[in-house]
Amino acid sequence: MKLLKLVPDNTNIHFLKWRLPFYIVSIVLMAASWGLVLTKGLNLGVDFVGGQMIRVTFERSAEAPVATLRDEVAKLGYGEPIIQRYGKPNEISIRMKLPEGADHDASLSDKMARTITADVKKNHADARIDGVDSVSGKVSRELGWDAFKALGFAALAVAAYIWLRFEWQFGIGALFALIHDVTLTLGMFALTQLEFDLNIVAALLTLIGYSLNDTIVVYDRIRENLKKFRKMPMPELLDLSVNETLARTIVTSLSMLITLVALLLLGPEVIFGFTAAITLGIFVGTYSSIYMAAPILIWLKVNPKSFVPTETALEKQERLAREGV
């Protein structure tokens, strides 16, 4: 049986030749992402800003009547709703700010949920209420802070681990690649205005784990080659390492993509944003291990000596004695 070979043997692509232009592109993309996050903002869900979210499916309509619904809900006197589709065109979420004073009296937010759901059901016979989430301001602030802590700690912890297993330059390289991946994903969320909720934070954490997969595989090979080819110049050695692991990189990324695309197209709509974030992360993560994590080692002046154990005082004495000084 002839086996499928996506990457020919012994490729010799000069990836690192283009490192500077790609670095510039990446930095521009990162800046653009931050710009988007700061100007357009993330479409934060009730998990992080507090409020109420009601999910509705219009079972016998191809498309949810978003505009009518917006008018109807606005008329109820609780302020302007944010109505958004998620997944299929007939599935929407209505988001509201909690009424004044709801922080002290939860029955006010109850009343709002009941009024809105009753109104939607009355006006649309095929409306099916799929869920109501009410999150108070206090809880949402805590959830936001917890999410921030989790992301920060995760990034630092994995960078520290890589520093421990490799060298400090590798830790910085991995951290940089990580920040790059997370930033671009955030940029995508700002651009598409997909809802950013707790699940997306889980997706970002997963992304941190899996985008590092690639980085680690490349780093592992760099370390191996550094020990093997002491005299090889760094850019050449990095190219060799990336080329040697290229087949693996392509096959693994494709494997992940196959399952993720199945999940994106056929999986539950509610986690569409979650899957989209991870899918994007796989692309960005693969790119960043080749073009972010590897070249940074040149600038941080990694060389074969980094992996030669340094001489202890005792060893130096012995060497000098041997050399007869």
Partner 1 sequence: MLEFPRWKVIWLWALTIVCALAAVPSLTSMTNIQLPASLPQPKVNLGLDLAGGSHILLEADPSQVRQQRIEGMDESVRGKLKAENIRISDISNNNGSLSFLVEDPSKVDAVREAILPLTNGAGLTGKRDWTITVADGNRFVLTPTQEGIDQAVSQAMDTAVEVVRKRIDALGTKEPTIIRQGAQRIVVQVPGLQDPQQLKNLLGQTAKLEFKLVDTTALPSDVARGVAPPGSEIVPYATASEGGGVASIAVKRLGGIRGDELTNAQMTNNQQTNEPVVNITFNTEGGKKFANLTTQNVGKPFAIILDGKVLSAPNINEPILGGSAVISGRFTAESANALAISLRSGALPVDLKVVEERTVGPDLGADSIRKGMIAMGVGTLALAVFILATYGRFGVYACLALVLNVLMILGIMGIIGTTLTLPGIAGFVLTIGAAVDANVLINERIREERHRGRRVVAAVEMGYKEASRAIFDANITNVIAAVLMFAFGSGPVKGFAVVLMIGIATSVFTAVTLTRLWVAQWLRRARPAELNL
CA atoms within 13 A on the CB side of 69: 28
Residues 270-289 that bind partner 1 (CB under 8 A): 270-271, 274-275, 278
Diameter of the chain measured on Cα atoms:
99
Is residue 5 part of the contact set for partner 1 (CB under 8 A)?
Answer: yes
Contact in structure between 73 and 116 (CB atoms under 8 Å): yes
Binder of partner 1 out of 115, 213, 243, 306 (CB under 8 A)? 213
d(CA 198, CA 56): 20
For 146-190, the DSSP string reads HHHHHHHHHHHHHHHHHHHHS-HHHHHHHHHHHHHHHHHHHHHHH
Binder of partner 1 out of 138, 227, 316, 319 (CB under 8 A)? 138
The minimum distance between CB 151 and partner 1, in angstroms, equals: 8
**Stretch 186-205: interaction string toward partner 1, x if CB under 8 A:** ------------xx-xx--x
The minimum distance between CB 186 and partner 1, in angstroms, equals: 17
Report the candidate in 282, 291, 257 with the shortest Cα–Cα distance to residue 6.
Answer: 257
Q: 109 CB contacts (<8 Å, ≥6 apart)?
A: 52, 98, 99, 102, 134, 136
Choose the stretch contacting partner 1; rule: CB under 8 A; options: 70-78, 119-127, 183-191, 243-251.
243-251
Choose the stretch contacting partner 1; rule: CB under 8 A; options: 11-19, 118-126, 181-189, 269-277.
269-277
d(CA 289, CA 274): 22
Pairing of strands 195-196, 43-44: parallel
Q: 101 CB contacts (<8 Å, ≥6 apart)?
A: 108
Binder of partner 1 out of 65, 220, 283, 304 (CB under 8 A)? 220
Binder of partner 1 out of 126, 146, 315, 318 (CB under 8 A)? 146
Choose the stretch contacting partner 1; rule: CB under 8 A; options: 78-86, 180-188, 206-214, 307-315.
206-214
Binder of partner 1 out of 29, 248, 300, 307 (CB under 8 A)? 248
Is residue 63 part of the contact set for partner 1 (CB under 8 A)?
Answer: no
The minimum distance between CB 4 and partner 1, in angstroms, equals: 4
Number of other CB atoms surrounding residue 106 within 10 Å: 12
d(CA 34, CA 3): 44
Is residue 232 part of the contact set for partner 1 (CB under 8 A)?
Answer: no
Binder of partner 1 out of 61, 123, 193, 259 (CB under 8 A)? 259
Is residue 150 part of the contact set for partner 1 (CB under 8 A)?
Answer: yes
Binder of partner 1 out of 20, 24, 262, 320 (CB under 8 A)? 262
d(CA 268, CA 265): 9
d(CA 214, CA 162): 13
Choose the stretch contacting partner 1; rule: CB under 8 A; options: 29-37, 153-161, 185-193, 314-322.
153-161
Which of helix, strand or coil describes residue 301?
coil
Please, which residue, 22 or 172, has the CB nearer to partner 1? Answer: 172
Please, which residue, 206 or 303, has the CB nearer to partner 1? Answer: 206
Is residue 13 part of the contact set for partner 1 (CB under 8 A)?
Answer: no
